[in-house]
Amino acid sequence: MTENAVLERMLSDADPAPTPRDAAPDARALATRDRILRTNLAPRRRRRRAWGWASGLTAVAASTALVFAVLSPQGAAVAGMPSPLDFEGSTTVAQVVDDAKTALAGSTGPAAPERAVRTAFWGFSVEVEAKVSKVVPQLSTLTWEPDGSGRMTIIAGVPYDPEDAVASNAAEVTSSGEVITDLVMAPGDFYTPWTEVPGETRQDMIAILRAFGMPENPTAYDVELAFTSVLDQWTLTNAQHRELLGLLGEAQGGEALGVTKDRLGRDVSGVRVVSPDGAASDLILVSRDTGRIVGVERTVLIADEVYAAGSIISYRMWDIDEEAIR
C-alpha cells in the first residue's frame, strides 16, 4: 500500500464521515507533513485561498500551522497577524547556549527520553466572503511505541479574534474541553525514522538528528530542522537538550536576539535561523528557567501571492503543562 493510500485510510478510519474543513490531521499526517515541510521549506506560490484545517491529503500540506496572511479571492487581506516577539538586550548564540546549559544543570527534566509529546499549536479559521476569522488554538498529546502503535489526542482551545492576538502579542491557549481527535494507532500506523531510546552523548544526538535529515557539516538551520522533527516525537532529557544546543552553537548561521516572553508567557531567549534561499526564518525559543528548547515559530521573509513578507505563519510549543491538555 502506498503512503498516500495509508494516509487516506487512516483519515477515513479516524472519521468515516466527510471530514470537516476545520478537522486536524492525524498523527501519520503530521509525520508525513513534517517530512514534506523539511524538503519544501520555502513558501510556494499558491492560488489565493483561505487556509484552514483541510481534509484528506490536503491536511498534510496545510499542517498545524497558524496562517495569518489570509487573502480573499481578490487579494484583499481579511485577517490580522501577530506581531513579532519583542526581544530585549544583546547577546550571542554562544552565550545563549552557555546560559541554557547552566539552567539545564539546575532544573528538573525527564529522567529518560519519552515516546510522548505534549504540544500547543494553532489553527486558523476564516470565512472569506464574510471576512470573519478566528484563531483556533489546539493542544495535543502523542504517545507511541516502537512497533508504530500509539495514540494521539487533540483538544480544541477556546477560539479568539486574531486582532486581539495582535494587540496583546500573545496567543493564549485555554482548553475548551472539546476532543477533536482521539486516534488509536495500530502497529505500523505511526511513522518515525528512530524507534530506539536515544542515548545522551553528543554522538547519540548527531545520530538521531541525521536520521531526521540533518546533513554532514550542518548549518544552524539544518540543526534546527532536524531537532524540531525529533521534538515532535520525543520528549528528551536535559542532557540531550544540552547536546542539541551545543550542536546548534557550533553550527554557522544562528543569530541571537536577546530575551523575551514567548506566546505562552514563558521567559525565553531567541535564536533565529534562516533558510538557505532566504525565503523563511525559524525562531528557536529556549527557556530561561529550564534551559530546554520550548518552541519554534516560522516567519515568511519573501512575499508571495499568499504571504506578505514578515508574516508569522506557524507556532509549535513543547514542554506544555499537563494541566493545560484537559
Q: How many residues does the chain have?
A: 326
Residue 207 lies in a domain: yes
pLDDT per position as a tens digit, 227-248: 999 999 999 999 999 999 999 9
Give CA–CA dist 33/57, Å, rounded.
Answer: 10
pLDDT for the residue 301: 95
CA contacts within 13 A on the Cβ side of 276: 9
pLDDT for the residue 215: 97
pLDDT for the residue 176: 75
- pTM to 2 decimals? 0.76
Residue with cell 494553532: 122
**In the chain, which residue ranges form alpha helices assigned H by DSSP?**
3-14, 27-39, 58-62, 93-106, 162-168, 202-211, 220-231, 238-250
pLDDT per position as a tens digit, 34-64: 443 333 333 333 322 222 222 222 222 233 3
291 with 297: CB under 8 angstroms?
Answer: no
Number of domains in the chain: 1
32 with 3: CB under 8 angstroms?
Answer: yes
- Among the listed residues 258, 306, 315, 318, the one whose alpha carbon sits nearest the alpha carbon of residue 93: 258
Q: Which residues of 184-216 are buried (b: 16+ CB within 10 A; e: fewer)?
A: ebeeebbbbebeeebebeeeebbebbebbbbee
Residue 326 lies in a domain: no
pLDDT per position as a tens digit, 83-142: 789 999 999 999 999 999 999 999 999 999 999 999 988 755 556 565 666 667 788 999
Residue 245 lies in a domain: yes
Q: Please spell the DSSP secondary structure of 172-219, one letter per residue.
A: ---EEEEEEEEEEEPTT-S--S--SPP-SSHHHHHHHHHHTTPPSS--
Residue 151 is part of which domain span? 3-321
Least trusted range by pLDDT, from 69-78, 135-144, 153-162, 295-304: 69-78
Residue 73 lies in a domain: yes
Chain-wide mean pLDDT for the chain?
76
